[in-house]
Structures are given as C-alpha cells and as structure tokens.
Amino acid sequence: MKRRDFLKRVAPMSLLPFAINGQPIKAYGKLMGSEAENFTQTDNVLVLVQLNGGNDGLNTVIPLDQYSKLATARPDVLIPENKVLGLDGLSATGLHPAMSKMKNMYNEGKVHILQNVGYPNPNYSHFRSTDIWMTGSSSDEILESGWIGRYLSEEWPNYPNGFPNEDMPDPLAIQIGSLVSPVCQGLAVNMGFAISNPNNYYQLLTGNYPDAPDTKAGKELDYIRTVARQTNEYSVKIKSAAESATNLSTLYPEGNRLADQLKIVAQLIAGGLQTRVYVVSLGGFDTHANQVDPVDSNETGYHAFLLETVSEAINAFQDDLEKLKIDDRVMGMTFSEFGRRIISNASTGTDHGSAAPMFLFGSKVKGGMSGSNPIIPNNPSAKDNLAMEHDFRSVYSTILQKWFCLDSATSNNVLLKNFDAMDLLNDSCLTSSVQHLKNQRAGDAYVSNYPNPFGTSTTLKYYSDGGYVHITITDIQGKVISFPVRDTIATGTHELSLDMSHLPSGTYYCQYQNGIITQTRSLLKVR
C-alpha cells in the first residue's frame, strides 16, 4: 500500500486522539513530497499459525501408498482409507476428513504442503523443540533471539528508539494473545506487541517524565518509559485500524478459537496497519490419549476437532482476505514443534515424534506439495520416527528471501547459517532498495530543537547526508511560516537559530526532507 493510500484510509479517524511524534496524522498529507511517492512500499504480511503440542502429521496428511503399513503400526488411530480426502493431482496422498475446507483450498491452488519438515537430531521436549522452531537454532545450540525478531531487527535496527514514527507508525509484529511470542524476540528487545482484543485494549496513560539518570537502572527506566509510550500510541493505532475496517466473510465459525484470532488479523490488515508479522496459535495437539473416538470412528474425536478448527479458520480467513482485496499480500504458515511417532500407544493416542508436514497458504503460494510421502518401515518399533526431508529453516529462508525480499546474504545472517530458499511462492517480492533504506533509518533523529518549549527563539539541530536539505516551518493548520533551510548542505550535523518572536503562542511544525528521509517535529511556543 502506498503511503498516500494509507493516509486516505486513516484520515476519517482524525478525531481520535492519535499523533506520531506529537503531530496529528491528518497533517502528514502535507508532508509527502514527490520523492516519497516514487516507490512501492513493501507491505507483505506473514501470519504464523502455531499448533501447540505436536500435531500428528501422519493423520493430517495421510500417505495412502503406505496405508497397509500404517494399518499395522497404528490400527487404533488410523483414519479409514475410504474417508481420506483426495487431493487433485496426488493419487497417493490425502487429508484428514475433517479438513474439507483445506482440501478445497489445495485444489484451488492456495495451499502448499511441505512433507517431512524437521531438523537434525530432533529434541522431543515441548519446551526445547518449541524454542528451536522459534529461534531457528540447531538442536545443540541455545539462541536468545527469535528468527522473526532478528529479521525485524535487521530491517528496523533503531527500534525501539524513535518508534513509532511517520515511516513506521505501527507495531512491527503483533501476537494475538496475552504474551508476545519468543519468535519476535530481537537482538536487544522484543520486536512484537501483544493484544487480546483491539476493541478493548487497555490504553496506558503517560505523562511528562524527568530525564532518567545515566545509570544501569536509569537505562532500564528509560526503556520502560519507551515501552509505555509505545503501548499508548500503538494501542490507539490498533483500535483505529480495527474501527476502520469490517470483516466481509460470513464463513467464520462460532466458537472457533483460531478463527476468532484470524478474524482480528484480517480486520487489522484491512484497517491499514503496516505490521509485517502476526502470530496466532491453537493448543491441544499433544494427543497422548483419546486422539480419536474409537466408539464412533477413528475419523472423529479430539484430533479431528482440532484439524476441523484449523481448516475452517484458515478457509474463512482466506475468504475474508479475498473479499477485502488484500489477499495478494498476505501469506500464512502453520507449524508445530514436532510430529508424532509412527506407532500408536496403548491409550488411543500417539507420542512425541520428529518430522511432520507444514502448510503454506495464500493467493501467492504455489499450490501443490513439496517432498515425498514419509516412508513407513515394515515393522516399526515404539522408538522409530519419520525421516526429515526438509529443514524448517529452509522454509524460513524462503519466506525471508521470496516474501520479505532479503538477499541471500542477509537471509543467512538472520538465520545464522546458510539455507537454500525453496520454490514455494509466485512472484511475491515487491521490495525496493529505497524502502529498505527508509526502514533502516526509521527512528533516527534527523531534526530536533532546543529548548522546547521555548519563548521567543529556538535552535534547530539537523543532520544532512549530503545533498539538498529542505526545512519548512508551518502552523498547526499547515500554513507555511518560513523556509529556514533550502540549500545543498554538506554531510554532518548543523545548527541554526530560529526567531519566532513575532508569532503567537502555540504548536508549530518543523518539516525536514533530505533525499528519501522525511521527518516532522513539533515546536511549542509559550509566553
């Protein structure tokens, strides 16, 4: 979405108490010169769907060519062969009968199945394996940052200082839930923002604080204040986005926990948020017991309920995106910390395993399946597991390079190792070097003034990258007061005294532009 289109969407909401860096959003339309409109903003969105507990892949994506071996290995949980949902072009592979909506999406070319996804030397602890998937680590290393957090840190290295700002006024990532996912943990701070419901989100009240002391505790206090300020500004923005868009799909099922989360995500994207990543989740996949309903049929039971929940939620979400006409820039990915063992246990369930299938979904996803059906041994033991075919970090590399448009070197830096991208997406990369540079510099203070507030005059301090610098002073209505700088300025920091003694008290704006960089600061004149 271009910035001017975004501004058009949020302009009717100017009655809300919303400002960025002290300036009402309605004023930004006056600041966007031709240089700011000469590029297409990259606003592809990734939705991570976490299936907590370890989903049973063998009963989700069913290898029909291995059915007789599965019948021996897991007879008390296996789906009846005649109930398996066939997939166009895949005679040997089908879906659980509860996933009819996902089957239709697959047949329409909007779902890609990745078979046998995992990592070498798998760990069977929920906590440790989840940590591995969240961080993108190897099984023998501990990382304190998440792969999405490192990507966002790479793209917006100044965060959280100077955020929100006119270049990035919205949260970088949003977790629908009470806590921010560790997948969003950056190199220094968490890059995400957690919400439970955008219409009821608590707005923190912030005031004017004295300077924090230059101590370790002072730095921590300053960080807390920054987060509190962001929480206030971000929550207003989130509420505004939620109020500016209406879900159009009628397919969202009642009482579906995942659908409720995805419905919020669709609403926020349609409402204009530039948030790059959303995280949603569904628990209950740790099916050690009562995975199926043996009294009725193996095709029913708790696992069937969970898969139906996922299938109907994703289908409604995709339908909503299409009706809202934003589907071409939204892609989803399901993941679970591990799969389940080949054989079933004595409790009509399955135990922790290794590799399992993943789903990518969206209008820009290449429909089909990558990889082959898992190979089931003739006489599997209780410890036998499925062989890994795809490292999950190759999927991450694909998303970083083909969806978020990183070059391979930067992608490898984010993932800390080299992983080849896969052919999973259709012509989805929209980035420009100009936009990437703006993201890199977002949060930098290119213009400021002191003192502020001031009486008769104030000193402008500004930085030039070299080239033409344009500084304009306007009143709160946008009327031009003066052009203190309109010249080619050498690289470096510069200062000038600004005499405003002839003006009435009130708020004024300093509008700065140097190449692709535009910033606005408020100037408060008092008697």
Same domain, 75 and 216: yes
- For the chain, give the mean pLDDT: 85
- Asked whether residue 56 falls in the same domain as residue 202, the answer is yes
Residues 208 and 334 in one domain: yes
In this structure, are 348 and 461 located in the same domain?
A: no
Give tens-digit pLDDT for 60-115.
999 999 999 999 999 999 999 999 999 999 999 999 999 999 999 999 999 999 99
Closest CA to 403 of 330, 334, 346: 330
Q: 109 and 25, same structural domain?
A: no
Q: What is the DSSP letter of 47?
A: E
What CATH number is associated with residue 460?
2.60.40.1930
User: Of 318, 338, 336, which is closest to residue 328 (Cα–Cα)?
Assistant: 318
pLDDT tens, residue by residue, 164-206: 888 888 999 999 987 788 999 999 889 998 887 554 433 332 3
Q: What local confidence, expressed as pLDDT, does residue 194 receive?
A: 87
Q: 405 and 429 in contact (C-beta within 8 Å)?
A: yes
- pLDDT of 427: 72
Instruction: Give the CATH number, domain containing residue 133.
Output: 3.40.720
52 Cβ contact partners less than 8 Å away, ≥ 6 residues apart:
130, 281, 282, 283, 284, 285, 286, 336, 337
435, 457, 483 — which closes off a domain? 435
- Tell me the average pLDDT across 463-492: 92
Range of the domain at 173: 45-435
Same domain, 430 and 378: yes
Q: Indicate if 173 and 59 belong to the same structural domain.
A: yes
Please give the share of the chain, as a percent, with pLDDT higher than 70.
84
499 and 417 assigned to the same domain: no
* 496 and 423 share one domain: no
Does 228 score more than 90 pLDDT?
Answer: no
416, 435, 454 — which closes off a domain? 435
pTM of the predicted model, to two decimals? Answer: 0.80
CA distances for 368 relative to 113, 325, 440, angstroms: 6, 23, 36
Quote the number of domains for the chain: 3
Name the strand (E) or helix (H) holding 260: helix 257-270
Q: At which of 11, 27, 42 does a domain end?
A: 42
Q: Are residues 34 and 100 located together in one domain of the fold? A: no
At residue 243, the pLDDT reads: 86
Read out DSSP for 60-77?
A: TEEEGGGHHHHHHH-TTT
pLDDT at residue 417 is higher than 90: yes
Mean pLDDT throughout 28-46?
47
Residue 42's pLDDT band (cuts 50, 70, 90): very low
326: closest CA among 243, 367, 268, 280? 268
Same domain, 276 and 392: yes
pLDDT(429) > 80: no
Residues 150 and 219 in one domain: yes
pLDDT of 434 reads 65
